[in-house]
Chain A
Amino acid sequence: DAEITQSPRHKITETGRQVTLACHQTWNHNNMFWYRQDLGHGLRLIHYSYGVQDTNKGEVSDGYSVSRSNTEDLPLTLESAASSQTSVYFCASSDRGHEQYFGPGTRLTVT
């Protein structure tokens, strides 16, 4: 069965370190998205991609970057982790315009 996975599921890191969160989907979807979810804010879009070599900034992109070298993967990098980036991160994918399928999430704590 097709699926979307994220790793790690839990991560604790220190302020200033670079962190990469992985997202892998086997749906063969062109569209992939990264969100963060915080109490009181709901899901907010960080970056998104509509295909290989395509990346776009979302609502809260400062301090984050993504790259898309193949259809299956969209890793999210925190260049220099900050305490404000403590959150739950969800990756999602979709076929053009259709519903998004979400990964299980990564809980990131920056100390």
Chain B
Amino acid sequence: GQNIDQPTEMTATEGAIVQINCTYQTSGFNGLFWYQQHAGEAPTFLSYNVLDGLEEKGRFSSFLSRSKGYSYLLLKELQMKDSASYLCAVRSVNSGAGSYQLTFGKGTKLSVIP
């Protein structure tokens, strides 16, 4: 089975940097996704890591260590509009069926304060 852990809530100040951690235990690991979800809206794709290391995309970066089962999402120069939930999702592959599935963590609610 899959087990994904991330903090429930975090608070950070506008203009600061925040790191949201995600740890996972899974079989057939085939990549890790981060999604952003504003209250009352659909999740939207932020980043994807399949190899170890850092992927940078503007103010957002995501890091993966497959050996440690660990990822983080780094948000720089925080803005009020970054207040949202951030969902970590692990993709696993069923090699026999050739199928992919995403398993989501429960999400981290980030509040950005002035």
Q: Identify the A interface with B (CB < 8 A).
A: 31, 33, 35, 40-45, 48, 50, 56, 58, 90, 96-97, 99-105
Contacts and interface: CB of A to CB of B under 8 A. Distances in A.
Given A40-B106, A41-B106, A97-B91, A102 B42 contact: yes
27 contacts: A31-B100, A33-B102, A40-B106, A42-B87, A43-B43, A43-B87, A43-B89, A43-B104, A45-B101, A45-B103, A48-B101, A50-B99, A56-B99, A58-B101, A90-B43, A96-B100, A97-B30, A97-B91, A97-B100, A99-B33, A99-B48, A100-B102, A101-B45, A102-B42, A102-B43, A104-B42, A105-B41
Given A99-B33, A102-B44, A42 B105 contact: yes
* Interface SS, B side: strand
B87 to A, nearest CB: 7
Interface residues of B, number: 21
Given A43-B87, A97-B91, A103 B42 contact: yes
Nearest to A103: B42
